[in-house]
Structure 1
Amino acid sequence: MKQSAMAANGKRDGFRVIIIGGSVAGLTLALSLERAGIDYLVLEARDQISPQVGASIGIFANGARILDQLGIYDSIEQHTDPPIWHDMLTGEGTLVQKVDSLRLMQIRTGYPVAFLERRQVLQLLYDHFPNRSKILTGKRVVGVDHLNRGVRVHCDDGSDFTGDIVAGADGVHSQIRQAMWQHAESHNALKHLKRDRQAMFAEYRCLFGISSAVPGLAEKTQYRTFNKDWSFLVVVGKDSQCFWFVFEKLDKVYRPPNMPSYNKDTDQKEFVKQFMARYVAQTVTFAALWQRRTAATLTVLEEAQYTHWTYDRIVCLGDAIHKMTPNIGQGGNWAIESAAALTNKLNKLLKRTKGRPVADDIRAALKNFEQSRHARTKEVCETAGFATRLEAFATLAHRLMSMYVVPYAGDMLVDVHCRAVAGAPKLDFLPPPEKSLRDGTVFQAARFVEPGDNPAWRALRALPLLAICLVNYRVLGSAAAAVVPQIDGAADRRSVAALMTDLAALQTVGMVETMRRGNNFTLAALWPVFALVGHWKGLLGYAAPVYFFLHYVQCSPDRFAAPDNRLVPRHHAKTIVAAVAVGYILPAASLLFADRTHACVFERVWQVCPLTTALVHRAFASAIPNTTATERVQNPCADMRHLRLAYAAGAFISGATYCYLAITSRWYTHIFWSDALQLWQAYRVLAVPAEVSRGQLIRYHHLITFGSSLLWELLHFRDLGRAGRLNMSYLKVAGVLFGTVMLMGPGAAMALAWAWREEVLARKTRWGTEAEKRR
């Protein structure tokens, strides 16, 4: 018996999407279309929407935000008790690491990691449909016909349905993907089709399930056990319900049609024998989970990244087109993302076209959807596969990274996750949820990131800093080595005093950036290395601009959007002034006032003082309790009082020296600015001035170092303005900096400007109304 098409939505002139599969992807797409006023029909092969197969799902922030827009997330929260602790263990049950990384993820994104049964999510989605007659069960699709103005879908019960688009959300073994390939082959289309047919493979298998409460497994905790060729993942949810996974490497890599399949009774029982005595927690073995299981399924873990997501009027999403391993929990969230992204494209298409869109417009919209998702999906699939192999020690490198890098990487994995989440799509036609706009969330920051502001563009913008190095080499050449202080007379002493006190201010800023949490694992944290090169060989006029260039490229404003990433651990912030005084100012003063007999010794000490200052700083900090784990969550501005003192101290000693020299020696001020003019003229003709004295070379490097530092700061202030975090024009900022240089000297100006930036980054505010207007 054939069924006629449903009544079309009048707002969209009869346009309808036929969705194959009542999966998370399919139901999310349908509900998104419902909110957009686009007609749809869901055809599900099973007899019920939410069967119990033992599957769980983790809703991360990228999926949660979309579900929140759809009005479902509050219901999901009622079914969850989000984990905050992450325990990492060896195969023998030894605890390697216990961190509250999941709590930090919630602070940064506005959403906790919510684990619950997959069938619960499906049921909640289904319950939110105002017209459930558009969701039909027991409709297994067996064919797709392409009509002049649409498509017709045939089901195995003899019914058929027509629409404008077929969306395949029917899982990893998608019939719609096969129908799309067959249709493309009949037209000799899709040049990478052969590669797509061979894209799927499996190297691991997984037993996943759900158990009732297990003694010894703590609430709000996620457990991961790493071992050679196998691993465990256990998440304790609401009412201590346990969601668990057992991963094991297969004997070889399999590809269709030779994928393994498993019998629920015999294969499962045989599989679990080897794992019963293995530890999922320090005192709990897998046997405890297995004995309390309520559902379990053994399956092969397919992996696939397909090139072609769409052809003609067919489009695929979810596991039908991007299948990843479950170790990072992003499969369901990526399906939700793709559903939102596809709805956005269709909504824009129907708003742009008058009446029912023609085939070419539909194909273009679907192709645009495919292209918008490719790069992001490729990255997450590779990350998921890497995580699976990392936890199963696939190679020696994986083992070393698991045991000796990850446990000591701080919140690096949280940083990686949050940067990925920040780029997630949402439903563009619905307002963003309040949770995602809380101060300091990555979603809030992402709204105001300058379009296209990637490292390549930032490097291009900062090229003048590298140009300074090249011009320095052409103008000063080997004469740079003479900047290693050797004091001959009062004039040199004044020049060296001004340079050293300004460098104390620069050293303060450099130490802050070295210890800033958001700079971990970046070149910005290597200031002591660059400073040491500059001091040891007298190449500060080269080393400083290179450091500023690299810092600017890697440290965009959104990197510090999360308040805890701006944070400098308080035990480090508290000891900066003392470390600079002992490790930097004391050797500088000793050199400045040493007699000729001891000058050579103090000169060598001063050359390595960036290194000694860093060592002294760590020694001082080690004597103070490290409270970062608490403060990064509860008080990310705990460092501000100490940073203000450090910046003020650096500015004071630099500014006081400049003012003293300006008052007591007008000659110094005159000659300083005269040298600045000479250096500018030398830059113009690319030739060093004749008969350059040692004092002049010191002042030249002084000017080059701090001129480049002020340019570096102007670039960062430009970013803050573009992000809407600073309501002051670029010219006004430059004017303030130049005025401060004239009044207090370049070192004080540099320190005070960086303190100003610190205050802007620490300020609690909604990011940039001006930036939003520009978009």
Structure 2
Amino acid sequence: MAGTKGDGFRVVISGAGVAGLTLASALEKAGVDYVLLERRDEVAPQIGASIGIFPCSARILDQLGAWKELKKLCEPLQVFYSRDGKGQLVATPDRSPRLMQARTGYGSAWGERQNLLKGILGSIKDRSRIHVNKKVVDVKHDFDGVTVICDDGSSYQADLLVGADGAYSRTRQKMWELAEPEKPEIVRADRDRMTAEHNCIFGIAKGVDSPKIKAGDVNTTYDVGRCALTIVADKGTVYWFSQERLGRKHRVGDMPRYTDDDARAFVERNGDIVIVPGTGGLTLAELWAKTVTFRLVPIEEAKFRLWHWGRIVCAGDSVHKATPNLGLGGNSAIETAATLANAIKRLADAQNATGRRPTLAEIDAEMAQYQRERVVRAMGVVDASARLTRLQNMRGLSAKLFVKFVRPRLTEFLPETLSNTMVGAAKLDFLPLPEASLTGTMPFNPTMNDGVGGSKLHRMLIALPLLVLAFVASSVMDATPVGRLAAAVRDGGVIPAIRDRVPILRHFYHIPSFDDFLALVNTFFYPSIFGTDPDARRQMISFITDGTVLQLIWHFESARRASLLTPIQLPNFFSLLGQVVGIGVVSPVYCFLYYLFTPVEKFAAIDRRLTNTRVSYASLPAVLLAYLLPFYAVCFWPNLVGRQCWLFLWQLYPVWLALARWGISKVFLQETMDTDKIQRPLKDLNAMKVYVGGASLLAAGLWWWVILGGMSQAGGLGAVVASVWNTFVPRGLPSGSAGSLEKFASEFLRWDQVFALGSHLLWLAYLFWDMRKAGMLREGLLKTVILGAILVPLVGPGATLGVGWLVREQILATRRHKDALTLESVARLHGGYF
């Protein structure tokens, strides 16, 4: 017998691939007895494969002491290029690998798989535990232990057997045999779970001489039914992959097997794929001519449900097999090995503390915990890789539409997808965290998983009161009952209640039906703008000034990186809709959608709260020119006919605002996002304070101007309360039965303000609640809400909204999630850096 159990907890690892070597290195550093069995005659063979190393695994390799040497052997990624089958760019070249470095403290690199294996092997001090030419042929399992039998007759006893032996795992097969009597349905399903719908040829080319490629370039070619990926390294080395969609779905027992001749035929069929176009460019056929090692294989995909049974557990490809398109298969195996090492360390520590071996039930509990900790992230990688595979092979209409229309506008599609898989990465709990991993702008956080904040259905249910508010607002602010009164005023030809006969302006844009509609809407504003109802006039001026704060917030949020591809990117659409049905009806809907699509977890990276300054810096001048100043002209222009002209203009302010923001941004401002997100993620913070803070001061000033203007001569607190009551508080529901358009309009606009600003103040409460759950609001939610309630009567709802939004912005910019691993949090939780 080649190996027997000693006094300590002992592990047999089958397979010296990425997962097996990582686990071996981790167990050595944990002080756990183990033996590693490899069926090949060497541990790190050259099989023509390359592999990407991303921050999620780089941190673990750094903990093991392997990263420093490994990164010297890998090519750091620099620029992502996305192309169609003819080599033409389908999106702007993406230089965001630098962003990944800034976010996590680790860059993204690519190199030969053999070098990764050698690097991990180099972190293992005692090589006597590693045995080659050890093909596992049988496993004996009982209550007291497990015995692994190899084809040379040797056997090894242990407390636990780990199958890290790949997609066609012999260990997993034996586990199924033992588990099937107890879990027949799961085992039967798992036996049929691995499929292949694509093949892939991967190779390494040397001496590639093309002036159009340089070290660090990553070129991805999207094409119908096929794709290609190349990573350029130093000295003309190119790591490359190319895929085809197979004619049907293959399963275990029916997987295609390929020869070198099959690989040559593959290239003959697909050699016309253009990697880089034009003179001096590169095709797949030209790359093949420089290829020194290659292999054609089916691309298996699998998400197995049974990860462990008794004293047998699996890791890496033997439980989660992903396509190579996302480049995370090996990285996921490293994470799984780290998580398993943590579980084994807990078992070993328990044995050392109690002096007895863990029971079968205790081992089963720890292995179940290991699976729970890893299954969501591991399966997420399989799913994300599968989606990317089908996108790159342009499978189906949705994929074709994505590549043609969405991908060009999503310049950081792959990096953002990768970043979301980085933030919740596993680590070795028993080894120190490298300082590099604690200093990034997107700190690792084990509770975030794929970077999103819970299910959208859950958030939808929480925010349902906002939709209820929108429904109530639409009922209260129904202007249909006074349509005939408004039409009568419009068609009467002169403005009522004005001493001089001021004609009603009916023609402005010279589009008869459109002018008639706007003239009808204008009648609702006559009591306010012409002063026939002084309270309504003061209320309207304050309301529109408060709206400046709201507009600026909407435009800042629309330019935010976290708002990409959400409805929040369309502030002028919401404003235009608000002009039609009332901003008080639209505001709760906007707030609902924002809460639904923007959980606080979206700001895990500091740069995600950053706005595109070319757009956001244009927001204040655009809002002033297109929204606020035209309305002040509506109210204060000396000529009453002129006021009507300004009102016609102001009614379309969302259109003029969109044009003004676009024009100012294009003529006066430059695009700096590529450097801002990496070097200046807080660049826009001061502008936010000046813009929104200034608008809030103006809103507070108008609030008190209105209050003082409505006070009686007696003065005092009672007069202040009376002024607020008379000016801002609705007397009742706007009703067409009142017989007065003036009364209806004044009540309508008061309710408009209540719903518009009230919904945004409720929205702020939701956002602060999110931050409290994330541990970022250290002042307490109740205290914050009480302070907001005090501010509303003191400075008005608009200023309160601005101040609250700025406070939230400051928190997003300076505080991280309670579980984020930073230098500050590690010092706080562990009494210093460790």
- Superposition TM-score, scaled by structure 2 size: 0.84
* Among candidates 18, 28, 46, match of residue 52 of structure 1: 46
**CA distance in 2 between partners of 1:499 and 1:399 (Å):** 47
Aligned pairs for 1:480-559 (under 5 A) are: 485-487=525-527, 488-538=532-582, 540-559=583-602
Note if 1:712 corresponds to 2:712: no
Moved more, 567-576 or 541-550: 541-550
Q: Give the equivalent residue in structure 2 for 1:320.
A: 318
Ranges in structure 1 where 5+ consecutive residues have no aligned partner:
9-13
Give the AA of the match of 1:752: V
Q: State whether residues 222 and 228 of structure 2, in contact with CA within 8 Å, keep that contact through their aligned partners in structure 1.
A: yes
Give the AA of the match of 1:225: T
Give the AA of the match of 2:188: K
The structural deviation recorded for 1:695 is 2.7
Note if 1:81 corresponds to 2:75: yes
* Among candidates 102, 106, 121, match of residue 107 of structure 1: 102
SS in 1 for 2:394: coil
Quickly say closer, same or farther: Cα 1:416–1:271, change in 2 above 3 A: closer
**CA distance in 2 between partners of 1:643 and 1:452 (Å):** 25
Task: Give CA deviations for 1:219-258 in whole Å, capped at 9, x if unaligned.
Answer: 1111112222221111113444221112122233222322
**CA distance in 1 between partners of 2:400 and 2:196 (Å):** 21
**CA distance in 1 between partners of 2:535 and 2:373 (Å):** 63
**CA distance in 2 between partners of 1:733 and 1:450 (Å):** 27
Q: Give the equivalent residue in structure 2 for 1:181.
A: 176
Quickly say closer, same or farther: Cα 1:590–1:676, change in 2 above 3 A: closer
Q: Give the equivalent residue in structure 1 for 2:625.
A: 582
Aligned pairs for 1:431-450 (under 5 A) are: 431-443=432-444
Q: Give the equivalent residue in structure 2 for 1:4.
A: 3
Task: Give CA deviations for 1:320-341 in whole Å, capped at 9, x if unaligned.
Answer: 1211110110110111111112
Give the AA of the match of 1:660: W
Note if 1:653 corresponds to 2:698: yes
**CA distance in 2 between partners of 1:325 and 1:86 (Å):** 19
Q: Give the equivalent residue in structure 2 for 1:366.
A: 367
Quickly say closer, same or farther: Cα 1:472–1:232, change in 2 above 3 A: closer
Give the AA of the match of 1:560: F
Q: State whether residues 308 and 370 of structure 1, in contact with CA within 8 Å, keep that contact through their aligned partners in structure 2.
A: no
* Among candidates 218, 221, 224, match of residue 222 of structure 1: 218
Note if 1:643 corresponds to 2:688: yes
Note if 1:728 corresponds to 2:792: no
The structural deviation recorded for 1:199 is 1.4
Quickly say closer, same or farther: Cα 1:213–1:656, change in 2 above 3 A: farther
Q: State whether residues 538 and 727 of structure 2, in contact with CA within 8 Å, keep that contact through their aligned partners in structure 1.
A: no
SS in 2 for 1:191: helix
Task: Give CA deviations for 1:433-487 in whole Å, capped at 9, x if unaligned.
Answer: 2222114124169689999865455445544434544555677776999996442
Note if 1:155 corresponds to 2:198: no
SS in 1 for 2:185: coil
Moved more, 238-247 or 213-222: 238-247
Q: Give the equivalent residue in structure 1 for 2:292.
A: 294
Q: Alignment length, in residue pairs? A: 762
Q: Give the equivalent residue in structure 1 for 2:671.
A: 626
The structural deviation recorded for 1:361 is 1.7
Note if 1:393 corresponds to 2:394: yes
Q: Give the equivalent residue in structure 2 for 1:410.
A: 411
Moved more, 294-303 or 553-562: 553-562
**CA distance in 2 between partners of 1:322 and 1:764 (Å):** 35
Q: State whether residues 104 and 440 of structure 2, in contact with CA within 8 Å, keep that contact through their aligned partners in structure 1.
A: no
**CA distance in 1 between partners of 2:828 and 2:466 (Å):** 30
Aligned pairs for 1:37-436 (under 5 A) are: 37-97=31-91, 98-185=93-180, 187-216=181-210, 217-264=213-260, 266-282=261-277, 283-351=281-349, 354=354, 355-436=356-437
**CA distance in 1 between partners of 2:108 and 2:536 (Å):** 62
Q: State whether residues 448 and 767 of structure 1, in contact with CA within 8 Å, keep that contact through their aligned partners in structure 2.
A: no
**CA distance in 2 between partners of 1:770 and 1:461 (Å):** 33
The structural deviation recorded for 1:36 is 2.5
SS in 2 for 1:379: helix
Moved more, 665-674 or 200-209: 665-674
**CA distance in 2 between partners of 1:760 and 1:449 (Å):** 22
The structural deviation recorded for 1:614 is 2.6
SS in 1 for 2:808: helix
The structural deviation recorded for 1:770 is 11
Quickly say closer, same or farther: Cα 1:303–1:512, change in 2 above 3 A: same
Q: Give the equivalent residue in structure 2 for 1:11.
A: none
**CA distance in 1 between partners of 2:182 and 2:369 (Å):** 21
**CA distance in 2 between partners of 1:61 and 1:529 (Å):** 39
The structural deviation recorded for 1:512 is 0.6
Give identity over the alignment, percent. Answer: 33
SS in 1 for 2:664: helix
Task: Give CA deviations for 1:495-545 in whole Å, capped at 9, x if unaligned.
Answer: 11111100111111111111111111123323333333333212x333212
Quickly say closer, same or farther: Cα 1:31–1:497, change in 2 above 3 A: same
Q: State whether residues 723 and 771 of structure 1, in contact with CA within 8 Å, keep that contact through their aligned partners in structure 2.
A: no
Q: State whether residues 2 and 154 of structure 2, in contact with CA within 8 Å, keep that contact through their aligned partners in structure 1.
A: yes
Task: Give CA deviations for 1:345-372 in whole Å, capped at 9, x if unaligned.
Answer: 3333444563211111212222232233
Task: Give CA deviations for 1:178-227 in whole Å, capped at 9, x if unaligned.
Answer: 11111123x24242222211112222111111122412221111111222
Moved more, 314-323 or 369-378: 369-378
Q: State whether residues 54 and 109 of structure 2, in contact with CA within 8 Å, keep that contact through their aligned partners in structure 1.
A: yes
Q: State whether residues 725 and 760 of structure 1, in contact with CA within 8 Å, keep that contact through their aligned partners in structure 2.
A: yes
Q: Give the equivalent residue in structure 2 for 1:609.
A: 653
**CA distance in 1 between partners of 2:215 and 2:346 (Å):** 45
Give the AA of the match of 2:387: F
- Superposition TM-score, scaled by structure 1 size: 0.90
SS in 2 for 1:28: helix
SS in 1 for 2:51: strand
**CA distance in 2 between partners of 1:349 and 1:475 (Å):** 64
Let me know the Cα RMSD of the aligned residues.
Answer: 3.3
SS in 2 for 1:666: coil
**CA distance in 2 between partners of 1:687 and 1:621 (Å):** 41
Quickly say closer, same or farther: Cα 1:480–1:509, change in 2 above 3 A: farther
Moved more, 21-30 or 449-458: 449-458
Q: State whether residues 676 and 700 of structure 1, in contact with CA within 8 Å, keep that contact through their aligned partners in structure 2.
A: no
Task: Give CA deviations for 1:279-317 in whole Å, capped at 9, x if unaligned.
Answer: 222211234432332321111211222222222222111
Ranges in structure 2 where 5+ consecutive residues have no aligned partner:
484-520, 713-718, 817-821
Quickly say closer, same or farther: Cα 1:340–1:675, change in 2 above 3 A: farther
